Structure 1
């Protein structure tokens, strides 16, 4: 029977509590889930949470096995699109994104999506990001406070990707709102966090339709297409997977995937500097330390805390027998704290040798935009530091967005 999430999950008596999250899906918004993650990685590498009816992969070995298994799918065979999303525009995006598909057409389409983003000139991305960051300074006002820092975190990455697609600046405000609406509805339908309400679903469908219409218009106007959209069309045509709706959805997918993820990594990097004054002084003296800093933040305070997989058939994972349709919560954040993956995993060290991280996944669904994403995050943090981001005021107003999978810091007074 297919596991289906329709409400926030129940607490699971997994480990003795010392201010631990109630369950793995509560962990991303917990103030400090890492002692909990670390214990799971060491003591419960793969187990069944009977209270919630799902399996949990926590160790690096178990996580890697699940992510690379042909038996573990991103969606259950019986429900490729969550029931709640079906019949609306949100389903048109959700059901066509290569990161959520395992059908025959996915392989060629994933190759096209991957080739396109990896063909983009990183120098062009950097120049575009720096220009847009300067423009945001004028739009957000002269004073950089907690609220405008949060706005910048979300705005810059999505808007750089939007420009690479060919979306004009005058639509940025709309695009941000539509992405937020679609993302909240898709997360609620898929995980139960936040709880799905009729208004949230309606807003999600409206946002999805508006995004689809806008991307369709850009795709059909050759003179307007940006380099990323052009590359996607070129690669899809070359590989024979140029079905129009698939291309539109996956062009949007570049923004959908990065909407919360890059903002979260920017915010977490700022927190790492705020908590470590000596490291801040080191980075201030030499911005070349930013790149290894961001890499260590991605390992140590993992943005994509978890993902999920479903069993395509009865089979064995990490020595346990699972049934077709069983849901597995894949704890990337716990795996990154596994001493088998990184010695002394709780030590934050930007000079760490042979750093290993599962932030961008593994196997056939690994994120292909790792270099582009890391570059945009680096430029964003560099810009905020140059502007004088109020690091000392971030921790007192810190909260984490409600999410079952993504750890997103928010700075609001």
Structure 2
């Protein structure tokens, strides 16, 4: 086991605990990078001004730098620091925060969901993107197309993707851009969310890229949140009945699952200047693997951290980031996941008839279901 393989291991949490017992921040010789695993070290790295989201010499991964996906990647607020991060965030976050849960629930209820493996895949991956597309003023038919294009585009975000997948990602990015150009030019005032963003953001190119980013962020992170909540129900059968009797508890389950078994297990930071963090001296060019999932289970952050506790007092979590790069769509993601899980639980199919494996990834923990 190593800190990267851990993301898709059946149970990485004992390994994370062993890492924390040794050191909060240490250098991993095999991987050639620093590993932050304690709550204190993770918080310090995420807050440090010299820990950037991309290396200075490679703002866009070389594998995609010459294509359209690279053009989009270079504008994404989550892949930038400074003004190129703050400006899109300040334009997009207020609109996301004004979306009410009932609007999201109505959009989720409009979709057909089944407990087949294929049905769950669509509910986890395609459904959330369709919801965001609808909030941005697209029709249901356009939403389905956008979800398929987003599935292709996210390949550019993974180092595991093949050259063919990257070529498809470039084409998908260009098509997504075209859909948003048409949506913006329609001027039909169908989307309060889009109107809100437009009022705050003048940079047209950055706007288009970050609208695509909304879909790509929704695609993977929300899918993992829904999938890991389903696993919690499979592993704790009594919770399924509790959720069905009291649907309001679904939001409590999701809030705890995102801490206990998060879909984003780690992220990276790149040191831009000499600095000292958690007693370690770092130099420019150093890479830090930030184990968010390990920090979530640090007893210094949460009492009894390995237990799934729906009514956990003073819950703390790094899953949606922290500080300047905290995810602006956290509330929306939880609303979509809650509405989707609620719809899934209206069906009588047996979740325990499903098998699963984790989607290949270096940082994501997203179950893919299949029938036994």
Show the counterpart of 2:360.
402
Show the counterpart of 2:133.
162
1:358 Cα shift? 1.1
Unaligned runs of 5+ in 1: 1-21, 138-142, 189-193, 237-241
For 2:72 and 2:126, locate their aligned partners in 1 and report how far apart those are by CA, in whole Å. 21
**Aligned CA distance change for structure 1 residues 107 and 223 (closer, same or farther; 3 Å):** same
Q: Helix, strand or coil for the counterpart of 1:83? A: coil
For 1:172 and 1:127, locate their aligned partners in 2 and report how far apart those are by CA, in whole Å. 15
1:224 Cα shift? 6.3
Show the counterpart of 2:117.
146
For 2:336 and 2:34, locate their aligned partners in 1 and report how far apart those are by CA, in whole Å. 35
- Any idea what the Cα deviations from partners look like across 1:281-322, whole Å, max 9, x if unmatched? 222221121111111111110111011110111211211111
Show the counterpart of 2:146.
175
- Any idea what the Cα deviations from partners look like across 1:195-216, whole Å, max 9, x if unmatched? x432122111111111111111
Q: How many pairs were matched up? A: 371
- Any idea what the Cα deviations from partners look like across 1:112-145, whole Å, max 9, x if unmatched? 12222123334323332333x3xx34xxxxx632
Equivalent residue runs for 1:323-362 within 5 Å: 323-362=283-322
1:158 Cα shift? 0.8
- Any idea what the Cα deviations from partners look like across 1:28-48, whole Å, max 9, x if unmatched? 211111111222233321111
**Aligned CA distance change for structure 1 residues 220 and 289 (closer, same or farther; 3 Å):** same
1:226 Cα shift? 2.2
Show the counterpart of 2:188.
223
Show the counterpart of 2:247.
287
Show the counterpart of 1:272.
232
CA-atom RMSD, angstroms? 1.5
1:64 Cα shift? 0.6
Q: Which moved more, 1:107-116 or 1:219-228?
A: 219-228
Stretches of 4+ aligned residues off by more than 4 angstroms: none
1:389 Cα shift? 4.2
Q: Helix, strand or coil for the counterpart of 1:386? A: coil
For 2:179 and 2:162, locate their aligned partners in 1 and report how far apart those are by CA, in whole Å. 26
Q: Helix, strand or coil for the counterpart of 2:270? A: strand
For 2:84 and 2:69, locate their aligned partners in 1 and report how far apart those are by CA, in whole Å. 20
| Aligned partner of 1:383 among 333, 337, 343 | 343
Q: Helix, strand or coil for the counterpart of 2:69? A: helix
| Aligned partner of 1:69 among 48, 52, 58 | 48
Q: Which moved more, 1:370-379 or 1:104-113?
A: 104-113
Equivalent residue runs for 1:238-253 within 5 Å: 242-253=202-213
Q: Which moved more, 1:326-335 or 1:104-113?
A: 104-113
**Aligned CA distance change for structure 1 residues 351 and 104 (closer, same or farther; 3 Å):** closer
Unaligned runs of 5+ in 2: none
Q: Helix, strand or coil for the counterpart of 1:31? A: coil
Q: TM-score, normalised by structure 1?
A: 0.86
| Aligned partner of 2:14 among 30, 35, 59 | 35
1:163 Cα shift? 0.6
For 2:256 and 2:177, locate their aligned partners in 1 and report how far apart those are by CA, in whole Å. 36
Q: Helix, strand or coil for the counterpart of 1:309? A: strand
Q: TM-score, normalised by structure 2?
A: 0.95
